Every structure is written in structure tokens, then in C-alpha cells.
Amino acid sequence: MDSSILLPLIGIPIVVAGFAFRFNPLLVVTVAGLATGLAVGMDFGMLLETFGEKFINSRSLAVYVLILPIIGLLESYGLKERAQDWISSMASATSARILMLYFILRQVFGALGLTYIGGQAQTVRPLLAPMVEGAATARYGDLPQHIRDKLRAHSAACDNIAVFFGEDIFLAFGAVLLIDAFLKENGITNVEPLHLGLWAIPTAIAALAIHMFRLVRLDAGIQRDVNAWQKSEGKEVTA
């Protein structure tokens, strides 16, 4: 086999090796892209121009590049601690209620196409998870790490599930347009993006109902976990 045919695939082993040795992911992907471009004979100036163009045109990358440093700066000035203190001062706030409210808002915003209002890096880690932990701490006192991890997992799951089933309702969402194009390419022309969005509503409602049921049980589950941990540590069991 002509080795020149395999040259465009040089980026694959670079990515595999880079991730295997746990190098910086952004550096690994950049090097892989440069290597692939040079392997297929692209001019270095044109290659840099292409990188810059794709960088500017990528809205999601621009969001992360702009938002993540801001979130990091806010965290360094105590954003998580302030969120925990604020929630701890609200007697009616529980972990489940906070997650229920976030789930509903996230799904509604996703259905309107506002998927960047919220997210794991922008909202869950610096705000939602600390608020959920703060509500549980205010009710049960200091929590062990495995319970904190459980609350963080529920926070992340809320964001993922809500936006996954909510964004399919938005007519201009990429997946909806992809499905519409695929159907038309295969001769199915009587289905419009509006139909796809409408048929996504029952699924979104089902996801909402199922997750609300799971969250209703969360507070009781946390109570059992805390009681079991307190018994194992020989502490007084919280009522």
C-alpha cells in the first residue's frame, strides 16, 4: 500500500498517544491538526489561517474561551462559598428542590435554543453543585465525601438530561436539521423540522416526569445515607 495514502491519518496516532500519556488535550489536538495539514501538503500559512478561521467560527469554543477564565476568576474570589452560604440561609431549600428548579429552567431554555445558559463548566461546578451541597449541609451538618460525590453526580445528571431532551424541541437545533436533511435525502419529504420538534415534546415531558420522581426520592435517600454514615462513625443520628 502506498504510504502517502496513510499520511492524512497521522493525526489519529498523535491523538491516541497524547491522551494515553495525559498531555494537555488542547495541545494534543493542535499538534495533530498541524501534523495532518502538513502531511497532506498544506502551506503553513494557509494552515494557520484555517485554524484561525475555524476558531472564530466556532461559537461553542468562543463561549468556553471567554466564559471559563471568568468562572475561574470568580471561583478564586469565593463564588462557591458564597453560593453555599446563601443557600444555607434558606430554611426551605433542599437539595432536591434546587435540582428540580434547575432542571425545569434548563429544559425550558434548551427548548428555546438557549443551550449556553447553563452547563457543566459554567453553572454546575461553580454554582449548582455547591448550592445543593450547601442545602444538605445546612440540614444534616458536615457530610462525608461519598455523599458529596452523590450530590455532585445528581447535579451533573440534571444538567445533561434536561438539555438533552429539551434542545430537541428547538427547530433550529443541529440534530433536528440533520434528521430533516437525512429524511429528505432518502425521499421522505413530508416531514418538516416543526414536526420533529413537536414529536420531541412528549419525550421531553416524560424525561421531566421521570427525573422529578427520582429527585423526589433524593432527599430521603440522602437522609438514609447520612444516618448510615453517622451510625458507622458512632455519631448521634440526625433526626
Instruction: Convert the pLDDT of each residue in 108-157 to its tens digit.
Output: 999 988 887 888 878 898 889 988 998 888 888 888 999 999 999 999 99
201 shares a domain with 101? yes
Tell me the residue type at 50: T
The residue with greater pLDDT, 31 or 145, is 145
Percentage of residues in the chain with pLDDT exceeding 90? Answer: 25
Among residues of the chain, what percentage have pLDDT more than 70? 79
Within a domain: 238: no
Domain total in the chain: 2
The Cα 190–Cα 174 span in angstroms is 19
Q: Are residues 146 and 169 in the same domain?
A: yes
Tell me, yes or no, whether 99 lies in a domain.
yes
Mean pLDDT of 207-211: 95
Predicted confidence at residue 92, as pLDDT, reads 78
The C-alpha atoms of residue 11 and residue 9 are separated, in whole angstroms, by 5
Give the pLDDT score at 41: 80
Q: What is the pLDDT at residue 58?
A: 55
d(CA 203, CA 198): 10
pLDDT value of position 14? 87
Considering the domain architecture, whether residues 146 and 89 belong to the same structural domain is answered as yes
8 and 102 inside one domain: no
Instruction: Show the domain range for 178.
Output: 70-232
Residue 74: pLDDT band by 50, 70, 90 thresholds? low
84 against 108, higher pLDDT:
108
DSSP 81-141: HHHHHHHHT-TT--HHHHHHHHHHHHHHHHHTT-TTSS-IIIIIIIIIHHHHHHHHHHHH-
Instruction: Measure the CA–CA gap between 152 and 143, rounded to whole angstroms.
Output: 13
pTM of the model: 0.67
Residues 77, 182: one domain? Answer: yes
Do residues 53 and 79 both lie within one domain? no
Q: Do 98 and 206 lie in a common domain?
A: yes
Residue 76 to residues 66, 81, 190: CA-CA distances in angstroms? 16, 10, 54
Which range, of 56-60, 151-155, 166-170, averages the lowest pLDDT?
Answer: 56-60
Bigger pLDDT: 114 vs 203 = 203
Please say which residue of 57, 81, 102 terminates a domain.
57
For residues 173 and 113, is the Cβ–Cβ distance under 8 A?
yes
